[in-house]
């Protein structure tokens, strides 16, 4: 069975530009990407950076791609090439972070008011197997505090940017109340798993954002 390919796109702008400038650019570029079967499936405004090196991202787009070679085809498109100067003017191209991924669980665009974006980075020697074990332990506890894991993307390739090169997974959660995240952190059933969490995860590279759907 052929796996669906996704592009995870963390948008970072140059100083002086806003999400309105990005949306103007995006409106134009979507007309071009449509020719190649690319489309944005999910889009989130990143409101608060909580943790990690990927600072300054204002938006997260998750694109559906028809195949692995489509970005090369797009890069040669005459209409796209005409937009490159404008793209480089408004974006911090050293910081814009892109990953290629496959979806383990994908319910599409989330509608909840509060979204939690969790870019998972593991310590050397640990990977998806250990992360699955950890999630099995903490998901029931998180559910008690209104945190619901909806979309899981397994990252297959780092393409560019200042985000962690060895990120393995992007989790997107719906949360009922961000204030309850502090209560979760103090729950005794969560705390008992903290040593294992710290053992397997690179806690300094783990990247977290609070967001909202666009």
**Residue 1 pLDDT greater than 50, yes or no:** no
The domain containing residue 109 runs over which residues? Answer: 105-151+164-213
Question: What is the number of domains present in the chain?
Answer: 2
pLDDT tens per residue, range 146-169: 999 999 999 999 999 999 999 999
The pLDDT value given to residue 90: 98
Q: Same domain for 19 and 117?
A: no
Taking alpha carbons only, the member of 165, 189, 39 closest to residue 97 is 165
Residue 159: inside a domain: no
Domain boundary among the residues 85, 101, 117 is at 101
9: nearest Cα among 63, 50, 73, 45: 63
Please tell me the number of Cα atoms within 13 Å of 46 on its side-chain side.
24
The pTM assigned to this predicted structure is: 0.94
CATH of the domain at 44: 3.30.70.100
Q: Examine the domain organization and report whether 135 and 175 are in the same domain.
A: yes
């Amino acid at each position: 069975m052929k796996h669906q390919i996704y592009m995870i796109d963390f948008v970072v702008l140059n100083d002086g530009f806003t999400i309105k400038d990005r949306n103007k650019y995006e409106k134009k570029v979507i007309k071009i990407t449509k020719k190649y079967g690319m489309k944005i499936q999910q889009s989130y405004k990143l409101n608060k950076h909580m943790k990690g090196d990927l600072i300054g991202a204002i938006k997260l787009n998750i694109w559906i791609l028809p195949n692995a070679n489509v970005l090369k085809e797009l890069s040669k498109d005459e209409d796209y090439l005409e937009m490159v100067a404008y793209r480089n003017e408004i974006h911090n191209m050293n910081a814009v972070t892109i990953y290629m991924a496959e979806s383990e669980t994908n319910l599409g665009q989330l509608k909840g008011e509060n979204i939690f974006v969790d870019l998972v980075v593991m310590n050397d020697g640990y990977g998806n197997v250990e992360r699955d074990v950890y999630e099995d332990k903490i998901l029931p506890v998180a559910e008690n505090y209104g945190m619901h894991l909806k979309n899981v993307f397994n990252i297959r390739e780092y393409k560019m940017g200042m985000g962690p090169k060895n990120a393995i997974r992007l989790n997107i959660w719906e949360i009922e109340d961000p204030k309850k995240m502090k209560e979760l952190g103090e729950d005794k059933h969560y705390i008992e798993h903290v040593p294992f969490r710290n053992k397997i995860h690179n806690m300094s590279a783990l990247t977290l954002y609070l967001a909202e759907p666009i």
